[in-house]
Structure 1
């Protein structure tokens, strides 16, 4: 924490984190890895500042609260459109590829790959050729292999799968760094950070050190494919508890849109939700409350959550149902 970000010792950590990320995600050579600050929330403003030029439209696919927030910030910068939305069904699903409305004057098309609040996740990404596809992958990056070449820009706050909060990863295609951004403040330009290897100013050095440690751990686990296998097994334990409960537990997300990272569900009534969460807390389960905006229950199964925790939750869900149904 005390090392200078200009020191040789820190430089090795910094570059190691970049190299690990490139290897684990199979990032093509024509992409840059940037370490930024401000979380995904700053990216909501930073990307339209770069790419939403006059006469162009920012096209957003709405699948939950975070995509809504991204759209809200873009509206402050320029013209926007909604390419598709599942808000009308309470964000229980992901739009089909045929539902996405594209425009010739799209500056970019934006999506959120995983929706933490509603428990849905993209399983297949659209092929966009007329404009960059940009994705907020804060809550599921590194949880499964992805084809980076489908995207012009991917950004992710670290605090779900990459490490502690404080660093934001951006993966950007080289051609997007050629945009004229003379109107954009220096610190809000992707070029600024690309040209200086994310060392234009003091980066969050300890968060990047921890990121590098997490990436080393993922590598030791067998890489992203092995992590995905584990995540599928973990999520299945809990989804099976829901599906085999004869309606006692009701999942929020439609089956084909279910997230491997966030499993959202309700019990028969609000009183049962409260009793379940109280008992779970007594037994040592932490963070099972649903997001304050939707209530209910939410089990998050991020990379670092061990299989044993998911087995224990499955057993608790089964025993609680037998006792209270």
Structure 2
């Protein structure tokens, strides 16, 4: 990927300019954008009733965007949060600006495990249920998709996005900062079910409004063009190397190398 980017840095496909200086309104960039989306759809088998948008602001921007876009789905402005580490805790704190946040389990003293879902107290009036699939700071990862009884499920997948196959149809919204798994910093992928569009609060900044961004094909404002280009190269690499299922196998091989050393350390590493 880096070698391909290096080769095209100064002269992208014979155009005489770099993607870095390319207008986002040109047909050439439209091809880059469409290629990235099509690869994303293919690799994740994204259903047709889901929209893919490429935004800015990182995961932290989505901590605001999620409640701003979804809390209006139901009256009362309630939202359920599963807090299993630093990132979901930050998301819940941000959501409190716009919603009545219910932490669905007793407050955890330490972030070392996923609370038993049978103990979760889900609010039937909640507009959505939010969780972070992999908490990188505390090393806590979900090995299952929560059953939220038909509620709108929102997931921060930043750090394990495209590391394995996932059934997108189980979610209302998936978002992921590209810098963790599928590119460089600057672009955030949002996958949103189309029936959830159009409920943004009036105070929602227009650049965070999912419907506005979908309607404008991620081009309402100037997008992070080069980051989208790099992401497209990474997605192509993933496809050429077997897709999400192959990434899962590769991750297991790499993790076994580490865990085998830990297991054989006679307690030195725990």
Fold equivalence (TM over 0.5): yes
Distance between the aligned counterparts of 2:145 and 2:264, measured in 1?
Answer: 30
Structure 2 unaligned segments of length 5 or more: list them: 1-19
2:193 aligns to what? 173
* Secondary structure of 1:34 counterpart: strand
Contact 1:64–1:87 (CA under 8 A) maintained in structure 2: no
Task: Give the match for residue 124 of structure 2.
Answer: 104
What's the CA shift for 1:180?
Answer: 5.3
Distance 1:85 1:70, change over 3 A: farther
Which of 79, 87, 97 aligns to 1:66? It is: 87
Q: Highest Rg: 1 or 2?
A: 1
Describe the superposition over 1:225-271 as per-residue Cα deviations: whole angstroms up to 9, x where unpaired.
01100101111111121122121101xxxxxxxxxxxxxxxxxxxxx
SS of the equivalent of 1:22 reads helix
- State the match for 1:148 in structure 2: 168
Counterpart-to-counterpart distance in 1, 2:101 and 2:158? 22
Q: 1:131 to 1:56 in 2, by over 3 A?
A: farther
Which 4+ residue blocks in structure 1 deviate beyond 6 angstroms? none
Q: Which moved more, 1:47-56 or 1:240-249?
A: 47-56
**3-state secondary structure, aligned to 2:197:** helix
Q: How far apart are 1:187 and its partner, in Å?
A: 1.7
Structure with bigger RCO (C-alpha 8 Å, 6+ apart): 2
Select which of 67, 73, 92 maps to 2:112.
92
Report the CA distance between 1:185 and its aligned residue: 2.7
Counterparts of 1:291-306 in structure 2, within 5 Å, are none
Matched, 1:34 2:45: no
Separation in 2 of the partners of 1:245 and 1:86?
A: 34
2:254 matches 1:234: yes
TM-score scaled by length of structure 1 = 0.74
Q: Could you say what secondary structure the match of 1:145 adopts?
A: coil
Q: CA RMSD in A?
A: 1.4
How many residue pairs end up in the alignment? 249
In the TM superposition, what is the alpha-carbon distance from 1:129 to its structure 2 partner? 3.5
TM value normalised by structure 2: 0.89
- Could you tell me which of 240, 247, 250 is aligned with 2:267? 247
Contact map agreement 1:86 1:95 (CA 8 A) in 2: no
3-state SS of 1:178 partner? coil
Distance in 2, matches of 1:3 and 1:147, equals 35
Name the structure 1 match of 2:77. 56
